[in-house]
């Protein structure tokens, strides 16, 4: 197959709201690619329905119930629960190339040119720039890679307890092998950078054509501009849809 998709993950209703805003932001910037959401069994029906309005493809991932290799892996490493769910994106072999985005990210422009990159492309993490930030990455679904990832996970665990540690361990030559797999930092702008090196932030984001993704719009240090953008989308596009889905049921916006 030759299809390309943006993929996100939301195991519960709070991350679902993030995924809705992310999906809306991708649509608003006229992506020509498919939108896929991996969801967890705890998600409420109204949230599932709202996601289905925005995403082309909403898929339930239940690692606990799967009885497959992922289930076995998770029995050995119960600490890595959500990580195993995230790795499931490699099973989307219906698509040839994907861009994974955390549910708490937001696109600020059309970023379809990311599909020109190869697995595993990602932006540097400002906390340790020889690691990539796993909030946004380009990958190729493959059952073979999926199997190897699960095996790596069970054997080595995660040095930081999350998916970023696992993925940086597995794709361990990212820092040294191929510069084209280094996405520009603005593709996953951690808001921490705005505060630690403001002159660079101003210098490199000044170009209004520069492509940007706001990473982790909910972390404490997030820039007000990104937060405002998130809440604007949420209240104008997501809340009305949720009101629709919940109908008479109680619902907190």
Which residues contact ligand UDP (rule: CB under 6 A)? 8-12, 15, 82, 86, 102-104, 162, 216
3-state secondary structure of 242: helix
Q: State which residue, 102 or 229, has the beta carbon closest to ligand UDP.
A: 102
- What value, to the nearest 5°, has the Cα angle with vertex 245 and ends 239 and 250? 80
Min dist CB 215 to ligand UDP, Å, is: 8
Quick check: bond before 120 cis, omega within 30?
Answer: yes
72 lies in the site for a second copy, by CB under 8 A: no
User: Pattern of binders to a second copy over 20-59, x per CB under 8 A?
Assistant: ----------------------------------------
Min dist CB 33 to a second copy, Å, is: 24
What residue ranges bind Mn ion (CB under 5 A)? Answer: 102, 104, 216
Min dist CB 158 to Mn ion, Å, is: 16
From Mn ion, a second copy, ligand UDP, none, which one binds at residue 7 (CB under 5 to 8 Å depending on kind)? none
- The Cα 232–Cα 173 span in angstroms is 39
Q: State which residue, 113 or 144, has the beta carbon closest to a second copy.
A: 113
Min dist CB 238 to ligand UDP, Å, is: 16
Per-residue burial over 10-20, b = 16 or more CB atoms within 10 Å of its CB, e = otherwise: bbbbebbbbbb
Helix or strand (DSSP H, E) at 180: none
Please check whether residue 64 is in contact with residue 42, taking contact to mean a CB–CB distance below 8 angstroms.
Answer: no
Q: State which residue, 17 or 77, has the beta carbon closest to a second copy.
A: 77
DSSP string covering 70-114: HHHHHHH-GGGHHHHHHHGGGG-TTSSEEEEE-TT-EESS--GGG
**Tokens encoding 163:** 């998916």
102 lies in the site for a second copy, by CB under 8 A: no
Beta bridge partners of 142: none
Q: Which of residues 140-169 bind a second copy (CB under 8 A)?
A: 159-161, 165
Question: How far from chain centre, in Å, is Cα 245?
Answer: 24
Q: State which residue, 17 or 181, has the beta carbon closest to a second copy.
A: 181
201 lies in the site for a second copy, by CB under 8 A: yes
Binding site for a second copy (CB under 8 A): 123-131, 159-161, 165, 175-179, 182, 184-186, 192-193, 196-197, 199-204
């Amino acid at each position: 197959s030759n299809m390309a998709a943006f993929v996100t993950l939301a195991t519960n209703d709070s991350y679902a709201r993030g995924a809705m805003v992310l999906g809306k932001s991708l649509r608003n910037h006229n992506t020509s690619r498919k939108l896929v959401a991996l969801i967890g069994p705890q998600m409420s029906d109204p949230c599932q329905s709202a996601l289905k309005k925005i995403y082309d493809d909403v898929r339930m991932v239940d690692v606990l119930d799967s009885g497959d290799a992922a289930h076995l892996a998770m029995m050995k490493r119960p600490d890595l629960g959500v990580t195993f769910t995230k790795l499931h994106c490699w099973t989307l072999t219906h698509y040839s190339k994907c861009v994974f985005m955390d549910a708490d990210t937001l696109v600020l422009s059309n970023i379809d040119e990311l599909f020109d990159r190869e697995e595993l492309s990602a932006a540097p993490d400002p906390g340790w720039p020889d690691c990539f930030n796993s909030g946004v990455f380009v990958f190729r679904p493959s059952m073979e890679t999926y199997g190897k990832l699960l095996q790596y996970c069970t054997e080595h665990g995660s040095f930081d307890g999350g998916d970023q540690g696992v993925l940086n361990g597995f794709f361990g030559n990212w820092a040294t092998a191929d510069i084209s797999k280094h996405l520009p930092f603005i593709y996953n702008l951690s808001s921490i950078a705005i505060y630690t090196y403001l002159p660079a932030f101003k210098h490199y984001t000044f170009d209004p054509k520069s492509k940007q993704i706001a990473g982790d719009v909910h972390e404490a240090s997030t820039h007000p501009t990104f937060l405002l953008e998130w809440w604007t989308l949420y209240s104008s596009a997501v809340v009305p849809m949720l009101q629709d889905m919940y109908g008479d049921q109680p619902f907190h916006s």
